[in-house]
A and B are shown apart, each in its own frame.
Chain A
């Protein structure tokens, strides 16, 4: 993913340029001072110059590397290697705020150590007296505080400018104030600046004077005569002072610049803070503004920004509360209290009706539950009856079938009896004819056959009696046959009827089973409903009691409401005053 060109590109170099220039300025002063005050042995100046150049380059490279490594996040933001998120911008802000201190300590270290290194290398490469080497090292020690102070002070304005740019790039002001640690060291820094401004020229002048005096005394002591001494004194008076004057002026210039910059460290933030607090005092509020500063001024700026944010939120809530208060007092004046009392009376009445309804519902549910239980019992009895009826129908069917079978067998027997009767009738008929013939023959025989004829006639009567009986039996058999046929048909119809009745009874049994299931479910449901309605009744009774207490409380609070109504006029006046007071503040969005 390629990011757009960042406005922070190259700003890490821009931030450290002036501190490097300050170091070079200090180096220039030290070199000039050394050239004026130190008597270089013959033939060693070139070596000194070369060693000095190499040390300056090497130390500059080392210092630049250290500084840039402490600005990695800022560099990556400038190179668009990092997204400008608030977290990354905050890290970069921390790096920027640390940079003046880093420049201070690096300059102090390099200006203090550099002459020692140069003097050491110089003494190793040439035959230089140790006193000269010490003088070179001393110059570095004198110039280093001033140079470090100058490096710090020239870095501060650029660090402030970069912090503004980071805020413009999306770093929230509140995050910046909350996320950067503050060191309350302004007093020590000012003491350091003052000491450097005072003691550095003094030491330089004192060292210069002592060095010149020591050289003059050496020359005077070694002078051969008084005229030579006088000539040395005149030469000392007439010439050789201008380089010293120039050196002092240069030092004074650096001191002046340092003093002006140190004053600006306090002056600019204080001026902006004064303007911001003045704006707050005028009631012009808006979003918190970033006022760059260091040490205590940074803390003060953060505190004022937080105070402004809290004040804006407080004013917002105050205005909202004033509006609500005004609305509430207006509503109170509008007489919602009495309506609430009326509503409570209506609610109490409705709750009473609800309680009565709940009692009726509970009683009805109990009755319905009892009916459901009775229905369940009746359904059980009906199912048992249906099952018994089905068993009886099966028995009836079996009985009918047995009767039908018996009737069929009886019909067959009757038919056999009919055949037997026919056979007997035929015999009787034959007997009748035989007896008739015998009677005729006996009659033909005259008196002799008279007895025979009487016997034959008696036999004919017997035969006729038999035939008469057989005719009656035949009629009875016919009746029995008809009756058995009717019985067979009736039993068959009975079997069919019992089959139909059995099927119907089975359907009735199934229906009663379903009715039993439904009745069982209904009984369970009604039991649950009865329980629920009982609980509801208890809850409604409690509600009635609570509503009664509420009504009593409402009656009791009626007097308080009237007092409140009497006081609401004062509250309205107070709210209006509050709104007017809040309206004086101009909150900018």
Chain B
């Protein structure tokens, strides 16, 4: 049995997409911006009919951009909870784990993978 050291993450950007929640490492976000056409909405990953609200925010990291409903910066140190590999593959390889913040579980994703869509997962 291998003892896996739990990763500690300091600096998360907590995002809400509809009723769902996402967390991205702060270092994976270069800037916040206003959504523009062609930018991928994170809610499409949960429901294809989902549409971004008007006050949505664009998360940018180099050429990658993802639109979410709201954004909140969380600077406390949080422990990354590991997830099974099957669940990681179900998320298209974009799921890194879960953190607990504000009494809720937040899935931590890789912005670049999540922004590329489900075709990347396969």
Contact = CB atoms under 8 A, between A and B. Distances in A.
Contact of B26 (A432, A443, A453, A457): A432
A362 to B, nearest CB: 89
Per DSSP, chain A at the interface is helix
20 contacts: A429-B10, A430-B75, A432-B11, A432-B26, A432-B27, A433-B11, A433-B26, A433-B73, A434-B75, A436-B11, A437-B73, A437-B75, A439-B31, A439-B32, A440-B32, A443-B57, A453-B31, A453-B32, A457-B30, A464-B27
Contact of A436 (B10, B29, B34, B57): B29
Contacts of B32: 439-440, 443, 453
Interface string B26-55: 110111111000000000000000000000
B66 interface: no
B11 A457 contact: no
A434 B75 CA distance: 8
Contacts of B31: 439, 453, 457, 460
B13 A436 contact: yes
Contacts of B27: 432, 464
B81 interface: no
B57 to A, nearest CB: 7
Given A440-B57, A440-B71, A457-B31, 5 more contacts: A429-B11, A439-B32, A443-B32, A443-B34, A460-B30
A464 B10 CA distance: 14
Contacts of B29: 436
A440 B75 CA distance: 13
Interface string A436-448: 1101100100000
Contacts of B13: 436
* B interface secondary structure, majority: strand
Interface in A371-397: none
A437 B31 CA distance: 10
A433 to B, nearest CB: 4
Contacts of B71: 440
A443 B73 CA distance: 13
Contacts of A433: 10-11, 26, 73, 75
A28 B33 CA distance: 204
A440 B73 contact: yes
A111 B26 CA distance: 185
Interface in A405-451: 429-430, 432-434, 436-437, 439-440, 443
Interface in A439-482: 439-440, 443, 453, 457, 460, 464
A461 to B, nearest CB: 8
Contacts of B30: 457, 460
Contacts of B34: 443
A50 B40 CA distance: 207
Contacts of A437: 73, 75
A246 to B, nearest CB: 181
A84 B11 CA distance: 149
A414 B68 CA distance: 44
A199 B71 CA distance: 204
Contacts of A430: 75
A436 B33 contact: no
Nearest to B55: A444
Nearest to A438: B73
Contacts of B10: 429, 433
A69 B95 CA distance: 166
Nearest to A434: B75
Interface string B4-40: 0000001101000000000000110111111000000
B58 to A, nearest CB: 9
Most buried by B among A434, A443, A453, A457: A443
A439 B11 CA distance: 14
Contacts of B11: 429, 432-433, 436
A542 B34 CA distance: 130
A59 to B, nearest CB: 162
The 7 closest A-B pairs by CB, nearest first: A437-B73, A443-B32, A433-B11, A433-B75, A457-B31, A440-B32, A436-B26
Contacts of A464: 27
A457 B31 CA distance: 7
Interface string B54-79: 00010000000000000101010000
A422 to B, nearest CB: 13
A290 to B, nearest CB: 142
A575 to B, nearest CB: 131
Contacts of A443: 32-34, 57
A123 B87 CA distance: 199
Contacts of A440: 32, 57, 71, 73
A440 B32 CA distance: 6
B77 to A, nearest CB: 10
Nearest to B13: A436
Nearest to A457: B31
B112 to A, nearest CB: 16
B20 to A, nearest CB: 20
A453 B33 CA distance: 10
